[in-house]
Amino acid sequence: MNLLTGACIIGQSGGPTSVINASALGVIQTALQSEQITRVLGAANGIKGVLNDRLYDMGQEDPKELELLKFTPSSALGSCRYKLADPDADDTDYQRILEIFKKYDVRYFFYNGGNDSMDTCNKISKYMQKVGYECHIIGVPKTIDNDLNGTDHCPGFASAAKYIATSCMEVWQDAHVYDTGMVTVVEIMGRHAGWLTASSGLATWAGFGPNLIYLPETVFDMDSFLADVKAIYEKTGKCMVAVSEGIHYADGQFVSEAETSATDGFGHAQLGGLAVMLADAIKQETGAKVRGIELSLLQRCAAHAASQTDIEESWSAGKAAVEAAVSGITDKMVAFQCSRDGGYQCKTVLEPLDIVANFEKKVPRNWINEAGNGIEQPFIDYALPLIQGETAAPKENSLPRFAKLKKIFTTDME
């Protein structure tokens, strides 16, 4: 078999995570050691870096700094949210990508991201096949939303889940300090899939978590919600609620985008964050002291609470991508195939990009209780093995020591 030889590009796309750089490191380190890969290039800000010829020469980086990527959150190469057009309608971007690939003799392309990123990967792969340019293309999964089709779970989810569960346990402790009544609403990311919000159920399982959990997989009803909260509050004097930002009414409208029945002091309908909105509705219904908390960006890059299992698996996904590509495989995404019977085991497999791109995996309905306001044991059994392990992240002066890359552009070396 004739082995393909040439340069590779690794790009990152979409929202940051605590471990996306571990996947990039798996690609970079494995590619640097491959005899078939002549040069390892990093795309600045994802596919936009390719289009704009802004590529870093990763071979110029200090190996010790690269190693710190395992413990450095966010996207070290820079990210983007850029949707490529249908090549049959407009192939301008694709012609430019092909031009850059030819300029640097790129024969391997690795794209590290979520649903939209796998769509990008898929489109580029199909275009290169159509025009007859030999380039092996592999997607490396990433998303805290855990909604990628074809894989047991996604790199990044476990660390976010661990942070969410830990934070909910800490908030629970704070909310139970005083002998006065209080309701706490915690808003968690997840527009269409509730995996992250379901993770708050790990805190409940541990004894210090939400009484009520609402996911976008079920229809939200405000009257039922207020009745649930009121019943618990009147019985215990406390109530903690976890809500996904994507909860919606029966007509599909996001609760966060709807006008509340509540008004401010001037009679104006209040709009805004979901936690604040629901907190106001609860206060009007119960008269209780209510706090609305939005975890927001904190849940995406909390490397201090990362799962070591997540770090190791993320790195292995990057490594597997390169090994597959140099062996002659293309048009695939690295996925995880796991077993939890008799102990947790996980291995990397390859799935066609076609079945991954633009499909969202939801929390199974039977993992949510019948009332739609809590999590059942199967979710705990699924998620608990993923959050295991404490990181050995290095520190300086008791602060995280993150990677400091030189980021030398190829154009600066010409």
> 29-43, 254-268, 272-286: which has the highest mean pLDDT?
29-43
Catalytic residue among 116, 119, 145, 310: 145
Report how far residue 17's alpha carbon sits from residue 117's, in angstroms, rounded to the nearest whole number: 14
**Other C-beta atoms within 10 Å of 404: how many?**
12
β strands within 51-142, DSSP E: 55-57, 106-113, 136-141
pLDDT at residue 266 tops 50: no
Q: What is the mean pLDDT of the chain?
A: 93
Sheet with 55-57, edge to edge strand ranges: 55-57, 37-43, 6-12, 106-113, 136-141, 332-339, 345-352
pLDDT single digits (tens) 297-354:
999 999 999 999 999 999 999 999 999 999 999 999 999 999 999 899 999 999 999 8
pLDDT at residue 136 tops 50: yes
pLDDT single digits (tens) 105-130:
999 999 999 888 899 999 999 999 99
**Interior/surface letters 360-386, b for 16+ CB within 10 angstroms, e for the rest:** ebebeeebbeeebbbbbeebbebbbbb
Report how far residue 302's alpha carbon sits from residue 18's, in angstroms, rounded to the nearest whole number: 6
pLDDT single digits (tens) 48-98:
999 999 999 999 999 999 999 999 999 999 999 898 999 999 999 999 999
Report how far residue 393's alpha carbon sits from residue 68's, in angstroms, rounded to the nearest whole number: 8
Residues 84 and 117: beta-carbon distance below 8 Å: no
Query: What pLDDT, on a 0 to 100 scale, did the predictor assign at position 90?
Result: 93
Report how far residue 145's alpha carbon sits from residue 198's, in angstroms, rounded to the nearest whole number: 11
Query: What pLDDT, on a 0 to 100 scale, did the predictor assign at position 2?
Result: 62
Where in the chain do CATH 3.40.50.460 domains reside?
157-299
- Which residue, among 127, 154, 142, 121, has the nearest Cα to 47 in the 3D structure? 121
Query: Rounded to 10 degrees, what is the CA torsion of 322, 326, 329, 335?
Result: -20
pLDDT at residue 262 tops 80: no
> Confidence class of residue 268 from pLDDT cuts 50, 70 and 90?
very low
Phi, psi of 105 (to 5 degrees): 50, 50
Query: What pLDDT, on a 0 to 100 scale, did the predictor assign at position 97?
Result: 98
pLDDT, average across residues 128-153 = 95
Helix (H, G, I), strand (E, B) or coil at 134: coil
Report how far residue 70's alpha carbon sits from residue 392's, in angstroms, rounded to the nearest whole number: 10
Residue 237 zone, left/alpha/beta (φ > 0; ψ -120 to 50; rest)? left
Residues 164 and 299: beta-carbon distance below 8 Å: yes
Maximum alpha-carbon separation in the chain: 76
Report how far residue 239's alpha carbon sits from residue 185's, in angstroms, rounded to the nearest whole number: 9
Beta bridge partners of 290: 183
Report how far residue 386's alpha carbon sits from residue 161's, in angstroms, rounded to the nearest whole number: 9
pLDDT at residue 378 tops 70: yes
Domain 6-144+151-156+302-359+390-412 has CATH 3.40.50.10470: no
The DSSP secondary-structure symbol of 360 reads B
Report how far residue 137's alpha carbon sits from residue 354's, in angstroms, rounded to the nearest whole number: 13
Helix (H, G, I), strand (E, B) or coil at 182: strand
Q: Output the pTM of the full model.
A: 0.94
Would residue 145 show up in a list of annotated catalytic residues for this protein? yes
Where in the chain do CATH 3.40.50.450 domains reside?
6-144+151-156+302-359+390-412
pLDDT, average across residues 165-193 = 95
> Confidence class of residue 358 from pLDDT cuts 50, 70 and 90?
low
Report how far residue 100's alpha carbon sits from residue 176's, in angstroms, rounded to the nearest whole number: 59
pLDDT single digits (tens) 186-221:
999 998 999 999 999 999 999 999 999 999 999 999
pLDDT at residue 263 tops 70: no
Query: What pLDDT, on a 0 to 100 scale, did the predictor assign at position 116?
Result: 86
Query: What pLDDT, on a 0 to 100 scale, did the predictor assign at position 257?
Result: 79
pLDDT-above-90 percentage for the chain:
87
Domain 157-299 has CATH 3.40.50.460: yes
